Amino acid sequence: MNEQRTRQHLETEELERVAMQEGTLPAPRREHLDGCARCRRELASLEELHVALSGLPYHAPSPGFADAVMSRVDLAKPWYVQLLTRNWTPVAGVSAGALALAAIGFWTWLFTRGGVALESVLSVAAEWARTALWDLVVGAGRILVDTGIGPTAVEAAQSLTPGAAAAILAVLAVLGTLASVTVFKLMELPVPALGSARRS
């Protein structure tokens, strides 16, 4: 048996194993290779070809390749990731519509049942609005100071063309006027005393 294996020439797979360094030959086969000029010649030729082919450099796709792939990939995400990344616009639209309908319904019900005075409800709302508005103004100011957006805004303003600056000032003026009018209107409404919201 071993005698037979020592005499036979090497199979292609055996030659490949040696040429491509994928493993070793059993002793009898190794012995044959060492003593057989024909097998050694075949091995040398295969090694040569393998070195030439495996040494070829890869072709490279263009630099934006990975981004192009990723922009077209839609990986199946787990439910919590889907929840965060899905498009909420339609849901938000429907919810806002439903809320508006509910609010209109509530107000209609309030005024048609006659139990509550319109002014008292409005004054509660006005009080909330005043507090929220004040918090908003103070908070925004603090953010501007803390983050250094103030100075950045000044720099940005300096790079504006006179026309653009005038346009922005005009928009700010209109917005400011509207805001002031709203605040003053809210101030005119009476602050409610709890419990007085019912018509006597």
Partner 1 sequence: MDYEAQTDEELAQLCEGGDERAARELVSRFERPLFSLIRRTVRDQELAEDLAQEAFVRAFNHLDSFDPSYQFSSWLFKIGHNLAIDHVRKKGLDTVSIEGAPDAVSQERQEATSITLEARGERPDEVAEARALGDEIEEAIGELRPEYRTAVMLRHIEGHSYREIAEIMDTPLGTVKTYIHRARGELQDRLAHLRPEGSEA
Query: Which residues of the shown chain bind partner 1 in the complex (CB under 8 A)?
Result: 12, 20, 22, 41, 45-46, 48-50, 52-62, 65-66, 68-70, 72-78, 81
Number of chain residues interacting with Zn ion (CB under 5 A) = 4
Burial tier of 169 (Cβ tally within 10 Å: 0-12, 13-18, 19+): exposed
DSSP summary character for residue 197: T
Note whether 129 and 186 are within 8 A (CB): yes
Nearest alpha carbon to residue 20 among 60, 57, 47: 47
Residues between 37 and 56 with contacts to Zn ion, criterion CB under 5 A: 38-39
> At its nearest, how many Å lie between partner 1 and the CB of residue 40?
10
- For residue 158, give the 3-state DSSP assignment: helix
In the complex, what is the shortest distance from the CB of residue 69 to Zn ion, in angstroms, rounded to a whole number? 49
Q: Which does 39 bind (CB under 5 to 8 A by kind): Zn ion, partner 1, none?
A: Zn ion
Q: Which is nearer to Zn ion, 7 or 142 (CB)?
A: 7
User: At closest approach, how far in Å is the CB of 68 from Zn ion?
Assistant: 52
Residue 36, token pair as written in the block: 């057989």
Residue with tokens 């037979």, as numbered in its chain? 4
Q: Which residue lies nearer to partner 1 by CB, 77 or 142?
A: 77
What is the binding site for Zn ion (CB under 5 A)? 9, 36, 38-39
